[in-house]
Structure 1
Amino acid sequence: MHHLLCGLAANPALPPELVDRLISLADDDLADDLACRGDLSRAQAVALVERVEESAVRLAYEGRLTAADIDPVARPDAALALLDRGAGRPEWARLLATDPSHGRREKLAACPRLPPDVVDTLAADPDVRVVAELALWTTTPDVTARLATHPHAEVRRAVAANEATPPAELATLLTGEGRPAARGCLVCDREEIPFVHDPQCSRPDCELSAGASCDGSHESTVHRTREAALRNPATPAESVAAFADHPSMLLRWALATRQDLPRQAYVRLAADPTPGVRTDIAGNPALDEALIRVMADDRDPAVRRALAHHPRAPLDVLTGLAATAKAGATLLPRVAAASPVEIEDLASSPDPAARMLVAHRRDLPPGIRDRLADDPDAKVVKAVAPHPGLTEAQLRVMVERHGVRVLAKVAANPDATPALLEELTRHEPPVQKAFREIARHRAAPVAALLACLKDSQARPTAAAHPALPPEIITELLTDTDCRTAEAAASNPSLPTAVMADLAWRRWRRD
């Protein structure tokens, strides 16, 4: 029964009085579904909190509760949620800054626009996790500059990741020069040094990260500090470029997404022995055409796929990548930005891989669209099949010529007619993906939806389709598959009397 109530809670046609009834029955799961309703009133939100205390945080984040609805003493977590949204009151921050729970103080430290006195209190917190969280999220350069010399290495690591940290401080954190060494880290706080954390550690209460180590120099935290500073776009490019040759793979990898490096650094990283580094470089917008062409021959398919999504990849390179890296199954950024002349060139190419690339666009001129719809290559037709504006006759010809290879994409066409959708459900052999597309299609007729109900994967989607007859939806409420029954309960075409019966049935039993 509970899954039916969850379905009802998500039903957009549920009358307000039945929303009230569900609120009076709510548990944690039901409260989550109710909290997401777009029509939930403020009074209903307050009532839901009275019923399920834990829902206050979700409702606060959803904007259903305001500061007037929250007592920070009774509901400190909800108060934190509003502070996190920038909708709380300054006095709440002062109260929570001395909360006995370090977890709440840690959450407070991540909130925006905290009063200066609260920032000072958190910066002096006895729990280093609270200070580190402040160091990570504060937007005040003076605060990050102050915390950059904190005696604990974990706080410095957080400062290194904060884009509000002044560039000069980030450069210093990268090298460690010109400042006293940290006196502690999370490793030596808890373990006798020298210590190296076992990656297979079985202690249930252990919070150390894999590879954490300390021999007195806090080496793993220092390494993570450098990595954070290298990833931080506020760290000066001249300070980070030399790390393109660093022995540490993680430090080289941290550079791969930066867009301000000298070209020679990109050249070195494009030839890095680690495929992950090369993959990130391949997607870096700062890459120039010459390097793109060099990397197009990379032996790793993940690198070539990333390169295909580069916004400046030459179209002739993309054609080759579409064929060798399976990168042509979606609209690529460079193709999306192609000029009318380039679109015509791609569509007229003798290479079907090039025609497939442009066929993924959904704004093609009618002439080009129709030409691609009549293409002899099934992959090209499959790519263009969901394009709006194609006629029923064109879609039928696609199916006649290419059968199961294009069926699901034809079913996804927004202009597919009810008659065609019904016919596709009778295709032999059947195509399971087509049933799922038809089950969610706005034009799906009853006969097609009934056919989709016979497919195990499409059945829940079909059960939620508003075109289903009310009596069928009602029958599906008793389906042995809970997902299907819940979807039926969420169907806006479910009769209101049935909705009321479900709610009242549970109401009487409770």
Structure 2
Amino acid sequence: MDHDIRLPKLLHHLPHALYGLARAGALPEEIAARLAADRDPEVRALRAECEGADGGRHGLFAADPEAEVRIALAQNPELSPELTARLGADADPAVREAVARRAQAPAEDLHRALLADPEATVRIAACRHRPPADLHGALLDDPVTRRHVVGFLDLDPGTAARLARDPDEQVRERLAAHPGLSAELRAALGRDPDPGVRGKVFERADATPRERARIFAWLTAGALRSAQDPGGARDEDFLCEAMLAWLDLAAYPWVEPDPLPHADSPFAGLRCAAARSTALPDEARARLLDDGNPRVRFLALAGRAEVDPVVAEELDRRQGGMVKHGGRPADCVTFPPETLRRFAADPDAWMRLLALRDPDLPPELLERLAADRDEGVRQATAEHPRVPVEALVRLLGDTDEAVVEAAAASPVLPVGVMRALLDRADAAGGPPPRLAACEGDCRHGASER
């Protein structure tokens, strides 16, 4: 029962407990109202971003004196068109920029206003959504929006030739990715001095094997220079290294319909795209399961109709905690409960995390994992739907901020504990925690959040 649960005497990260509580989805009205009126604008901002429209407080957040809160509200997917328009005319350009960056396209009149905003950052953000065709010319003439409108153009030869000569490499990079690019300009941009421009040509479906090989060799040479002589390397050489890493991660959607020609490509990115394809023959997929690149192995495994749990576990252990591609081999299989419970005692924290995928993990194992030496395991335990309340409340006193936030955000947290957290914060008094931390060192700037 709530009245039997007591907060830890020492809360190392009380502000972060409030941040986690503010991020929680459904909250009792009493708790949601107190968070919406909290003295710390970061707490109010977190609540503004996630609170549903049915809470009736969006108007309160829209009138908050702190721009941080209004910016957060602008990202709330349930924001009404009326409040979206109000924030789109906010006096603070950062708020207007946040409106322009919303995932939902704004109403046309608001979109036009944002595209014509006096602040460059707002105009750039507004180019996230397709601009009206009659504004393309003005956006091309504006140096700060030119690069952002290129992808929306119905490209004509004259405009394409002019953009290929643009001094802004990002304009040329967007042009290099345009589906309407001619073969002549593609070849020219494949010799561009900027690594990003050449990389976009490499990614194109219509790039010839010779073009792709030449670009890769040029990027590799630059990356080698940066590795061998970092002090004497040019900026372009470091960009070559970054572009090579990107080419391993790019999507190459044109490979997936016909993956077999690319299954043995010398380029890891193309092998990844082939491994991702459901049209890849089993024989080729088996070869990619032994590929030297861990991302290729993962995608080859993920594309199989049936995955052997033993193979998935072996590949996961080989990966060794490195997730550079948004997944791990264990994601490709549903381990039986007995295997997941075995992982709870594994010496590797990377594998102990898997135990928490068991929705019916016994309380004694959850108690053990809540006291794990690894903070990542403790955080995942705090997020488990069946974590014992006593263990969850102890995690509120954890020394790791992320663990504390996860525990406070848990739907298992009793209302009485939520109330006690807010009471403890109220009793602490004084200025908001972030400001108190820098008082004396940054007295003049403390109010500028």
1:365 and 1:351 map into 2 onto residues whose CA distance is 14
Residue 310 of structure 1: CA displacement? 2.4
Counterpart mapping for 1:33-432 below 5 A = 33-39=46-52, 41-47=54-60, 54=67, 55-62=69-76, 66=80, 79-81=85-87, 84=88, 103=93, 112-114=107-109, 139-142=131-134, 156-157=142-143, 160=146, 163=149, 233-241=153-161, 253=173, 255-272=175-192, 274-288=194-208, 291-292=211-212, 300=220, 302-303=243-244, 306=247, 309-313=251-255, 315=259, 318-321=262-265, 327=269, 332-339=272-279, 342-349=280-287, 352-353=290-291, 360=300, 362=302, 364-366=304-306, 369-370=307-308, 381=311, 385=312, 398=314, 404-405=317-318, 409=328, 412=331, 415-427=334-346, 430-432=347-349
Aligned length: 374
CA displacement 1:197-234 (0-9 Å, x = unmatched): xxxxxxxxxxxxxxxxxxxxxxxxxxxxxxxx6x6633
- Aligned alpha-carbon RMSD (Å): 4.9
CA displacement 1:42-84 (0-9 Å, x = unmatched): 433345567766434533542555477x6xxxxxxx7542xx4
**Gaps (5+ residues) in structure 1?**
71-77, 85-92, 149-153, 164-228, 375-380, 386-394
1:244 and 1:349 map into 2 onto residues whose CA distance is 41
Tell me if structure 2 keeps the 8 A contact 1:11–1:492: yes
| Secondary structure of residue in 1 paired with 2:384 | coil
Tell me if structure 2 keeps the 8 A contact 1:241–1:262: no
Specify whether residues 245 and 144 from structure 1 end up closer, same or farther in structure 2 by C-alpha distance, changes over 3 A only.
Answer: closer
Letter of the 2:300 counterpart? H
Residue 282 of structure 1: CA displacement? 1.2
Tell me if structure 2 keeps the 8 A contact 1:304–1:325: no
| Secondary structure of residue in 2 paired with 1:25 | coil
Which among 405, 414, 435 is matched to residue 486 of structure 1?
A: 405
1:57 and 1:305 map into 2 onto residues whose CA distance is 31
Residue 501 of structure 1: CA displacement? 2.5
Residue 286 of structure 1: CA displacement? 3.6
2:333 and 2:46 map into 1 onto residues whose CA distance is 30
1:413 and 1:421 map into 2 onto residues whose CA distance is 14
2:95 and 2:356 map into 1 onto residues whose CA distance is 48
Match of 2:223 in 1: none
| Secondary structure of residue in 1 paired with 2:108 | coil
Does residue 502 (structure 1) correspond to residue 421 (structure 2)? The answer is: yes
2:411 and 2:60 map into 1 onto residues whose CA distance is 24
Tell me if structure 2 keeps the 8 A contact 1:346–1:354: no
Letter of the 1:33 counterpart? L
Residue 454 of structure 1: CA displacement? 1.8
Provide TM-score, normalisation by structure 1. Answer: 0.57
Tell me if structure 2 keeps the 8 A contact 1:298–1:304: no
Tell me if structure 2 keeps the 8 A contact 1:310–1:333: yes
Tell me if structure 2 keeps the 8 A contact 1:46–1:65: no
Specify whether residues 508 and 332 from structure 1 end up closer, same or farther in structure 2 by C-alpha distance, changes over 3 A only.
Answer: same
Residue 304 of structure 1: CA displacement? 8.5
Residue 38 of structure 1: CA displacement? 4.7
2:165 and 2:155 map into 1 onto residues whose CA distance is 18
Which among 18, 21, 27 is matched to residue 5 of structure 1?
A: 18
Letter of the 2:351 counterpart? A
Flag the structure with more relative contact order, 1 or 2, with Cα contacts below 8 A and sequence separation at least 6.
2
Residue 476 of structure 1: CA displacement? 1.7
Tell me if structure 2 keeps the 8 A contact 1:440–1:461: no
Higher radius of gyration, 1 or 2: 1
Tell me if structure 2 keeps the 8 A contact 1:5–1:502: yes
Match of 2:396 in 1: 477
Specify whether residues 102 and 481 from structure 1 end up closer, same or farther in structure 2 by C-alpha distance, changes over 3 A only.
Answer: closer
| Secondary structure of residue in 1 paired with 2:109 | coil
CA displacement 1:322-360 (0-9 Å, x = unmatched): xx65548xx933443342xx3223135498339955853
Letter of the 2:253 counterpart? P
CA displacement 1:234-256 (0-9 Å, x = unmatched): 34135434876899866754542
Match of 2:33 in 1: 20
1:490 and 1:109 map into 2 onto residues whose CA distance is 26
| Secondary structure of residue in 1 paired with 2:376 | coil
| Secondary structure of residue in 2 paired with 1:473 | helix
Identity in percent? 20
Residue 405 of structure 1: CA displacement? 1.8
Match of 1:460 in 2: 379
Letter of the 2:24 counterpart? N
Provide TM-score, normalisation by structure 2. Answer: 0.63
1:415 and 1:135 map into 2 onto residues whose CA distance is 42
Residue 471 of structure 1: CA displacement? 0.8
Tell me if structure 1 keeps the 8 A contact 2:190–2:201: yes
Residue 280 of structure 1: CA displacement? 1.5
